Chain A
Amino acid sequence: MTAPASTQTVDLAARFPQSVSADARPGYSGFIVKKENLVEVATAIRDEFGYDLLATVTGVDYLAENKMEVVYHAFKTTGGAGLTFKVQVDRVDPVEVPSLINVWAGVDFQEREAYDLLGIRFTGHPDLRRILMWEGYEGHPLRKDWKEAFFEEETKPFKSRWPDGKFAFAEENNPFRDNLKFPADFDPEAYQPETEEDLYASLERHTLKGDGLNTDHIVVNMGPHHPSTHGVLRVAVNLDGETITGLKPVMGYLHRNHDKIGERNTYLQIIPYTDRLDYFNSMSNNFGYVVTVEKLMKIPVAERAEYIRVIMAELSRVQNHLIFIGMLMNDLGTMYTPSLYAFEERELILDIFEAVSGARMMCNYFRFGGVVRDIPDFVLQKIKDLVYDRLPAKTDEMERFLNENEVLVARLKGMRVLNAEDAIRYSVTGPVLRAAGVPYDLRRAEPYSVYDRFDFDVALRHDGDMMDNYLIRFDEIRQSLRILEQALKQMPEGPINSQKPQYQVRVPAGEAYGRIESPKGELGFYVVSNGKPNPYRYHVRTASYVNLQALEKMCVGTKIADFVALLAMLDIVMGELDR
C-alpha cells in the first residue's frame, strides 16, 4: 500500500506567467486565472498536468470587494491532492465567464446552478437555463444582497428570540417586505406565464421523412410523480419510436436553497441540516461537513472518535447499498419482496444509529473534533453481532436470492451504462465510476480520517454494464464489512472529542474544500470563512447532482423501458439532488 503523494503541488503560475497568479489572500490557496485565458489554462490543467476529473464549480459573491469569483476544484483519478483555480470578474451585470463545457463535460449542471443561483453567465454553455429555481424567477438567491420570504436577519441567532421573545408566527409577520422582486417592466394584467419552450427546444425534436410516411419525435414527460424517479424528479424524454434520442432532467421540486440556509446558520447549526441532504446517509453527510470545517479550524480529532466515525460511515454505506439493491428490484418490477428483505437488515442498522445518536435517520451525531457521545456497550455488542455474524450471512443470502435469477441476468447483463472515459468526462464518481473500471475511491485516492490504517480493496468491475453496477454494490458491502471488522478491533479507549463542547466555534478566515467518499460518490463541501460565527459561503457538491449529468449520455440509444433501470443505477436521492 503506497500512500499517494498528497503534498504534490503544481506551479501553474510558472507555466502561465502572463495569465495565472497564485491566490495570496490569507487562508486561501490555489491560483487565480485571467478570464480571457481560462479555457486555455483549463485545457492545460487537464492535458498537461493530468487533472482529468473536475469535481466542483461554484461561485462566491464578494459583495464588499464588488467581485464575483468562480471556483473550480480539479482532481486526478489516479489520486492525490487537487488543484484549485479561480476566476475573478467584476460584479457588474452581466457577469460573464467562459464556459468550460468543452474541456470537462461535467461542468454542465454546476455551471447552470451557478448561473441560476448567482447570476454568473457562462458564455459558450449550450443550454444555460435555470436549473433549481423555476423559469421566470426573478433574482439570484445566493447573491449576498438577496433576501428570502420571511426574512428576519442576515444571520442566526435572531435577536427577536431572546431575551424578549414574544412568540409570533413567521407567516404573520409581513412575508413580503423588501424581498419580493419583479422585473422592471412587470405588468400583472398582461402577464403571460412562461412556457417550457426552452426545455423542449433543447431536445431537438424533428420530423423524420420516411418513404411516404413522416414520423415525429415525441416528448414523454416522466414524472414529477412517477414512482420510479425516487422522489419528485421530472425527466423530459425525446423518443424516436421507443428509442431515446435525448433527455433533459428537470429538477428543483425539493429545492430549499441549502447553501443559503447554511450561510444564515452558525457553523454548528449546519450539522443537523446536512442530515437532510442525503437522508439515507446522514452519518456520511455529517462526516463530510465536519471534516471540512476541521480543516479550516485546524483542530485534531480524538482518536476514538475517528474510529466511531468510520464505523458509522461504513454502516451507513452498507445500508445504503442494501436500499439500492432493494429499490433496483422495485424499479425492475420485482415489487417489494427483495426490497423488504433489504430493509430488514437496514432496520437493524438504523436501530444502532438510534441508540447512539437518538434518531434513526436525522442522526446529527458528529461534532467538530469528535462525536456527541460514546457508543454504549450494548450497542457496541450489537454492532459486533451484526458485523461478524448477521450481515455477512445476509449478504450471501441476498446474492443467493437474486444474482443467478435468469430474468434478472437477462435484464442487466450487457446493458451498457457508461464507459470509463465518459464517466470521467462527466465527473461521475462513486460506484458507477468504479463499475466502469476506474479504481477511484477517495478512501484510497486521498485518505481522510483514519482510512489509511485499514486493509481493504477498492471494489472494481470492468464491463460497466448494469450487471457490474449492480454487483459492485455487493462488493462494496463486503469491503465495508472488512473495514468495520478492523475498526472494531483497533478502536482505542479514550475521549470522544478533542474540543470542549461549545455552541459557538471560532473558525479562522480562509477557504477549505473537504470531500469524503459517500455511498453515492464524492461528497464535497466548500466553505469560506471570514472569521465571523457564520460561514461566508457554504456550498455542497453532492454526488447525486453531479452524477445525473451523465444520464443523457447513458440513455441515448437505449429503449425507454430501460430508462428506469438506468436511472436507478445512478442511485440518486432527491434531498441531495435538489438541495
Chain B
Amino acid sequence: MYGKGILKGLSVTWKRFWDTYLEDISWWVRGKKRYNSTEGIAHRSSKNTRGIFTVQYPEEKLITPEEFRYIPFLVYDELEDGKKEVRCTSCGICAKVCPPQCIWIVRSNDPATGRPVPVPTEFYIDMDICMNCGFCAEYCPFDAIKMDHEFDIASYNRNVYDLEKLLKPATYYAEIRPENATREDEARRAKEAAKAAKAEAKSAV
C-alpha cells in the first residue's frame, strides 16, 4: 500500500510526542519535579530519557562532569594567618606547552642577589586566544594551574586575565573537582613525607 512507510514513520513521531506528556504525568504522580531540578536534568541526559530532551538554558544548566574544562585559573592555598600562598613557582612549563602561546609570565628576581625567586610577579592569560586544551593544567608539576568550570564569560571586551583575576582558592578547586583535588593532595603529602623522611635520615647520619 502506498503511504504505509509514511504512516509507519509518523507513528514514531506520534510516540515521541506523547512520550513527553506521559513522562510529565509519571513524574507528577511520583511527586517529583521534572523541570528546573537537578534530578530532572540528570534524567534527561541519561540513557532512559524519553520525550522532550532539551534543557532550558540559562534557567536550567547541564550538570558539568568533574573533568569538564574551560579556561585556566591559578590556585592559591590559604594559610592560617590569612595570607595567600600562590602555588605557582613561575617555572614556565605552562607557557612552553601552551599551543596558542597565550600564557605570559614574568618571573620574580631577588633584588639583593638577582637570583630567580619561585613566585610569579606577573601572570597573564589571554582568554580570547586560549583554546581550552588543558595542557597547562595537565603538565603543571605543582598543581598550580587548573581548568575552571565557569563557562558563561561572554563580554564585549578582550578578556586578558592578570594575576589578580586568575587566582582562586584551593577550596574552590576542591569544590569543582573533589576527586582530583583529593588524589593530588594525597600525592603531594606523600611526596612531602618522603622528602622529610629523607632529610631526617640525612641529618641522623
Enumerate chain A interface residues (CB-CB to B < 8 A). 152, 156-158, 160-167, 169, 265-266, 268-273, 337, 341, 344, 347-348, 351, 354-359, 362, 364, 372-373, 376, 382, 385-386, 389-390, 397, 400-409, 501, 503-504
Contact = CB atoms under 8 A, between A and B. Distances in A.
Contact of B104 (A166, A354, A405, A501): A166
B13 interface: yes
Given A355-B67, A364-B133, A400 B12 contact: yes
A334 B131 CA distance: 35
Interface of B: 2-6, 8-9, 12-13, 16, 45-47, 49, 53, 64-69, 90, 92-93, 95-99, 101, 103-107, 116, 122, 124, 126, 131-135, 138-139, 147, 158, 160
Contact of B67 (A270, A357, A390): A357
A344 B97 CA distance: 36
A157 B122 contact: no
Contacts of A504: 96
A503 B47 contact: no
Contacts of B65: 351, 354-355
A503 B135 contact: yes
Nearest to B69: A358
Given A341-B16, A356-B67, A358-B134, A269 B105 contact: no
Given A355-B66, A372-B138, A401-B13, 16 more contacts: A162-B90, A165-B95, A167-B122, A270-B99, A347-B45, A348-B45, A358-B67, A376-B67, A386-B47, A401-B12, A406-B2, A406-B4, A406-B6, A407-B6, A503-B135, A504-B96
B69 to A, nearest CB: 4
A324 B78 CA distance: 51
Nearest to B136: A503
Contacts of B3: 406
Contact of B5 (A354, A362, A406): A406
B106 to A, nearest CB: 6
Nearest to A401: B12
Contacts, number: 144
A272 B132 CA distance: 9
B93 A503 contact: yes
B96 A503 contact: yes
Contacts of A163: 90, 92, 105-107, 116
B133 to A, nearest CB: 4
Contact of B105 (A165, A268, A347, A359): A165
A382 B42 CA distance: 13
The 7 closest A-B pairs by CB, nearest first: A404-B5, A165-B104, A272-B133, A358-B69, A163-B107, A162-B92, A269-B99
B8 A404 contact: yes
B13 A337 contact: yes
B9 A404 contact: yes
User: Interface on chain A toward B: helix, strand, loop, or mixed SS?
Assistant: helix
A405 B95 contact: no
B124 A167 contact: yes
A161 B101 CA distance: 8
A401 B9 contact: yes
B122 A161 contact: no
A376 B178 CA distance: 14
Nearest to B103: A161
A390 B47 contact: yes
A157 B105 CA distance: 13
B104 A161 contact: yes
Given A268-B135, A354-B65, A355-B65, A158 B101 contact: yes
Contacts of B132: 359, 362
Given A272-B133, A400-B12, A167 B104 contact: yes
Given A347-B53, A358-B147, A157 B98 contact: yes
Given A165-B122, A272-B135, A402 B9 contact: yes
B164 to A, nearest CB: 14
B95 A162 contact: yes
Contacts of A160: 104
A566 B46 CA distance: 35
Given A358-B67, A358-B134, A503-B135, A166 B5 contact: no
